[in-house]
Amino acid sequence: MTVRQRFLRFFHERPQLKAWALLAPGMGWLLLFFVVPLLMMFGYSFMPRNPLGGVDAGFTLENYARFFDPLYLKIVLKTLGYAVSCTALCLLLGFPVAYAIARAGRLRNFLIFLVMLPFWTSFLVRMYAMMFMMRDSGLVNSTLIDLGVIETGFEMLSTPFAVLTGLVFGFLPFMVLPIYSSLEKLDLSLLEAAAVLGARPAQSFVRVTLPLAMPGVVAGSLLVFIPALGSFLTSDVLGGAKEVLVGNLVQNQFGSARDWPFGSAASFVMMTLVLGAVTIYLRVRDAGEAMEK
Amino acid sequence: MNTQRLPYWLTLGVAVVFLFMHAPLLVLVLFSVNDSKFSMEWKGFTTKWYERLAERQDIVDGLMSSLTVGLASTVIATVLGTLMALAIARHEFRGRRAIEALLYVPIVTPEIVVGISLLILFMAAHFPLGLGSITVAHVAFNISFVAVVVHSRLQGMDRNLEEAAMILGADEITAFFRVTVPQLWPGIISGAMLAFTMSFDDYVITSFVAGTDAATLPMVVYTMVKKNIEPSINAISTVVLLATTILIIVADRAGREESLTAKKAPAE
Amino acid sequence: MAEAPYAGPVVEFRNVSKTFGNYKACIDISFQIERGEFFSLLGPSGCGKTTTLRLIAGFEEPDRNGGEIRIDGQLVNTQRPYERQLGMVFQNYALFPHLTVERNIAFGLEMRGTPKTEIPGRVEKAMSMVRLDPGLFARRKPAQLSGGQRQRVALARALVLEPRILLLDEPLGALDLKLRKEMQLELKQLNKDLGMTFVFVTHDQEEALTMSDRIAVMSNSRIAQLGTPAQIYECPRTPFVARFIGESNFFEGKCVERQGDGWLVEGEGARFEVPNHPGLSEGGAVRIAVRPEWLDVFRPDAVPPGENALPGVVRTVIYLGETLHVLVRVGQREVAVAVRNEGQLTRPLTFKAGDAVVVAWMRDDCQVLEEDG
């Protein structure tokens, strides 16, 4: 047998080995450059800080204890607040968009493509676009002044309004796409059937459309909530130094404050919130599937 | 009752939201050719902001760095991701759940956490920070992505095709290259282009693992945004927007090519 | 020096078993396929027929200690599909979408290293064999072909290699009725013209009966019966075979005593005779299958002598054109009788729904059944 034949026969007789051989390079990369760093960061969060940067040997819970300090607690709650508000707003604005596109017939694919386009472009550029609009000398202020609505520009940046608007602007496509996916299967004939059976438009919506869209709503909410929790750029560009979220806190600890252990702990607090959200999502999804049976 | 047309208030509302989603970007593009430094008024068409970009060494260097990192990380991530997709789609193996979970870790981990954890690793291992470390990081977050895209393409593929090739005399390797790859190719291209886009646009992760010397284009843009320099930011933003849009359109077109499930056959 | 060609069966299965995890797809399968034969594997979904075909092809391998598969006398249990030199037509044709028709057909030739100059000629010949105009179709891609055309390309692609066996996995399933019938005849003709062994998998018993030299009827991972179409149809061995092939009425009873060279049976509210069969004993249970066309319906006063007769009531008469199906209620059973239509307008039946009648058959026009097992 040639080398090639031997090689093929070897793997043919060992299908598990073949699978693992294919997986190994990618898995190795992910383990080494994702899992290991996360574990190291977890370890760091329990170590005392070295004033010259990095960590000292030892074990301490102080980094996590600091989160009970009202200053830091406020940051965590603020972040949660932003994430929840952003998700709610995205749902409010995104659902009608997804619904309208699902009903758009032939224009569907084009419209959904348009919605997804900004999602793929640089988040940084998009935040800058928001900044450009909302600056003191920016477009919104200039237009309002020109229209005579206000006398002098009012400060939009560095406010919760700016950060929230930036977050919604940034993550709205994440909400639209999953809801649209669920509604894509919306057959107009379902609505017509409901109408024939005497349902008014509002009733059709609640009884037919909404249940169909539910999986998309839940998925979309998750896809917005998670990055919102972890967001950093938005508050950095649009919030100035005034709006500090957990993301900014972390960045600070790894930047000028040079407190890596505390930054690691803050990251883990963030991760816990994220995992909490994912767990809730999975429970809700499984409960939904169980109800359907 | 007409179920065809939507109520006018809904259409209007959706149009407004659409405007909100896209107008800021269009404004940027508009002002990148506006001959005005600070004012919001239209002062005439000009390309000088773009010319200023070309003169700036940091922009040119940043672009080169981004392209290098993008290309390298895309190639590596595509190969690794495709191999993983093949393993998952075509084989039964124990530990399958664990692997799928592993693939989802990058998706649920916030970018900033990814960035700092990698920084910790590199520093502890004394791994030099620069274009190399950036590439390593980009590959890490793109593998999952390519794997998922190629996997779904594989699932839609007719398994009989490889068997047909084998009964005609092709061994596994030949069948893979002559039959599987041509079928997968649009999906691989699509995944690769999207991976390139993610790499090209990334700021957060890159900023942590770049060290002091290296700078990709998004890092240069960030500095410009923070320092609030002149309208050249609009110009570079437009360049980035345009480049990404083209890449996405190409990726989308490539991905749609030749549906793999049996098309409805023409009549006899 | 050329070896003398193997004289035995071209395919031989000896006690072959194939298990997937916990599921036994094939249990103790044994059969031989003769050279040039049109051999069908027939059965309902999940019976193991496709797995058996895939075992011949090499896409599955028998279990360790799961018997022997021989092709032309050679043990092939672990031989890879690309080493077996067989041809196969898949259920959904599996044409390579990115290649033109001619590249599809040429694929196998390229794998073999056939000289480039020879290829176009052989492709053209294969296309003519399946009646596809090379001029019209060679450059087209599969997406531009109709279902029937794709099927012909799949056939040509397999035949161009002149394999010793052609495997067909329900190739006609996706075609409309008229095209199916056409292709059935064409395939049968090809089998005879080329003298090539065909192994054909189908769930359609009519198709199998029409085309095959021999049929292996499979059920629950085993072979229920192996024989010619006539043997399978006229002498089904088990209730499953009797039910699956054509239509059957089943009658049961207990053997009372020997009568001549057969048995007298008490059952179905009357007494009737059955032919002798190994396994029948006095007091033992017996079940027979009687096809509708072996039965006849008579008025109670007009029963011919020497025939078994069961009294019943006509429920309904179904007009099928060539035949009439008379459904008669006999005791708890509904019995179907196929009566030749002699022209209802000129020579109508002498009974109608609601009439008391007798269902009769000649003693030997039945099949004594063994149990499914």
Cβ atoms of C354 and C314 closer than 8 Å: yes
Query: In this predicted structure, what is the pLDDT of residue A8?
Result: 92
- What is the tens place of the pLDDT at every residue in B19-60? 899 988 988 888 888 877 777 777 778 888 888 888 888 888
Number of domains, chain A: 1
Q: Of C208, C237, C266, which marks where a domain is finished?
A: C237
Give CA separation, B208 vs A270, B114, B224, C285, in Å: 18, 9, 18, 86
Please answer yes or no on whether A37 and B6 come within 8 Å at the CB atom: no
Query: In this predicted structure, what is the pLDDT of residue C187?
Result: 93
Which is more confidently placed, A87 or B212? A87
- What is the tens place of the pLDDT at every residue in C279-321? 888 888 999 999 999 999 998 888 888 889 999 999 999 988 8
Q: Which residue of B has its CA nearest to C21?
A: B92
- What is the tens place of the pLDDT at every residue in B90-133? 887 888 888 888 888 888 888 899 999 999 999 889 999 999 99
Subunits touching B (CB < 8 Å, at least 3 pairs)? Answer: A, C
Please answer yes or no on whether B116 and A115 come within 8 Å at the CB atom: no
Q: Is residue A7 part of a domain?
A: no
Residues C323 and C186 in one domain: no
Could you tell me what percent of chain B has a pLDDT over 90?
37
pLDDT averaged over chain C?
91
CATH of residue B133? 1.10.3720.10
**pLDDT > 70? residue A170:** yes
Q: Is residue A270 part of a domain?
A: yes
**pLDDT > 80? residue C135:** yes
* Of residues B204, C328, B94, C214, the one with CA closest to residue A17: B94
pTM over 0.90: no
Alpha carbon distance C203, C46 (integer Å): 10
Q: Of C206, C237, C268, which marks where a domain is finished?
A: C237
Model confidence at C3, pLDDT cuts 50, 70, 90, reads low
CATH of residue C319? 2.40.50.100
For residue C327, give the 3-state DSSP assignment.
strand
Q: Is residue B38 part of a domain?
A: no
Number of domains, chain B: 1
Number of domains, chain C: 2
Subunits touching C (CB < 8 Å, at least 3 pairs)? Answer: A, B
Look at A97-101, C31-35, C163-167 and tell me which has the smallest mean pLDDT: A97-101
Chain A residues within an 8 Å CB radius of B87: 19-20, 22-23
Chain A residues within an 8 Å CB radius of C80: 8-9, 12
Q: Is residue B37 part of a domain?
A: no
Please answer yes or no on whether C88 and B179 come within 8 Å at the CB atom: no
Q: Is residue A38 part of a domain?
A: no
Query: In this predicted structure, what is the pLDDT of residue B31?
Result: 85
Model confidence at B2, pLDDT cuts 50, 70, 90, reads very low
Residue range(s) defining the domain that contains residue C31? 11-237
Q: Is residue C1 part of a domain?
A: no
Query: In this predicted structure, what is the pLDDT of residue B262?
Result: 43
Chain A residues within an 8 Å CB radius of B14: 96-97, 100
Residues C60 and C99 in one domain: yes
* Of residues C240, C193, C265, C270, the one with CA closest to residue C369: C240
**pLDDT > 90? residue B196:** yes
- What is the tens place of the pLDDT at every residue in A252-281? 888 888 888 888 999 998 888 888 888 887
Q: Which residue of B has its CA nearest to C103?
A: B178
Q: Is residue A206 part of a domain?
A: yes
Q: Is residue B68 part of a domain?
A: yes
Q: Is residue A1 part of a domain?
A: no
Which residues, at least 6 apart from B164, have a Cβ–Cβ distance to it below 8 Å? B179, C88, C90, C94, C95, C96
Q: Is residue C242 part of a domain?
A: no
Residues C272 and C225 in one domain: no
Which residues, at least 6 apart from C9, have a Cβ–Cβ distance to it below 8 Å? C32, C33, C34, C35
Q: Is residue C344 part of a domain?
A: yes
- B233 in contact with A at a CB cutoff of 8 Å? yes
Chain B interface, best mutation among A13, A32, A124, by max B CB count within 10 A:
A124
Please answer yes or no on whether C82 and B171 come within 8 Å at the CB atom: yes
Residues C165 and C66 in one domain: yes
Q: Is residue B156 part of a domain?
A: yes
Residue range(s) defining the domain that contains residue B141? 53-256
Q: Which ranges in C195-334 belong to alpha helices (H)?
A: 205-211, 229-234, 239-244
CATH of residue C43? 3.40.50.300
Q: Which residue of C has its CA nearest to A5?
A: C80
Q: Is residue C373 part of a domain?
A: no
For residue C286, give the 3-state DSSP assignment.
strand
Q: Is residue A9 part of a domain?
A: no
For range A101-114, the mean pLDDT: 84
Give CA separation, B67 vs B49, B215, B216, C109, in Å: 22, 12, 9, 44
Residues C216 and C314 in one domain: no
Q: Is residue A217 part of a domain?
A: yes
Residue range(s) defining the domain that contains residue A76? 66-292
- What is the tens place of the pLDDT at every residue in A176-221? 988 988 887 766 677 778 778 877 777 777 777 888 888 888 889 9
Could you tell me what percent of chain C has a pLDDT over 70?
98
- A123 in contact with B at a CB cutoff of 8 Å? yes
For range A115-130, the mean pLDDT: 88
Residues C258 and C212 in one domain: no
CATH of residue A75? 1.10.3720.10
**From A22, A94, A137, residue closest to B87, measured CB to CB:** A22
Cβ atoms of B69 and B131 closer than 8 Å: yes
Q: Of C237, C260, C278, which marks where a domain is finished?
A: C237
Alpha carbon distance B9, A176 (integer Å): 19
- What is the tens place of the pLDDT at every residue in C29-42? 999 999 999 999 99
**pLDDT > 80? residue C185:** yes
Residues C272 and C138 in one domain: no
For range C67-76, the mean pLDDT: 93
Alpha carbon distance B144, B106 (integer Å): 7
Residues C352 and C209 in one domain: no
Residues C232 and C266 in one domain: no
Please answer yes or no on whether C98 and B160 come within 8 Å at the CB atom: no
Residue C336: how many other CB atoms lie within 10 Å: 19
Q: Is residue B32 part of a domain?
A: no
Model confidence at B1, pLDDT cuts 50, 70, 90, reads very low
For range C317-341, the mean pLDDT: 90
Q: Is residue A281 part of a domain?
A: yes
ipTM for the assembly: 0.85
CA distance B176 to chain C (A): 13
Please answer yes or no on whether A96 and B218 come within 8 Å at the CB atom: no
**pLDDT > 70? residue A81:** yes
Subunits touching A (CB < 8 Å, at least 3 pairs)? Answer: B, C
Query: In this predicted structure, what is the pLDDT of residue C335?
Result: 93
- What is the tens place of the pLDDT at every residue in C78-93? 999 999 999 999 999 9
Annotate B102-168 with DSSP letters as a single string: HHHHHHHS-HHHHHHHHHHHHHHTTPPPSHHHHHHHHHHHHHHHHHHHHHHHHHTS-THHHHHHHHT
Residues C218 and C301 in one domain: no
Chain C residues within an 8 Å CB radius of B169: 82, 85, 108, 111-112, 161
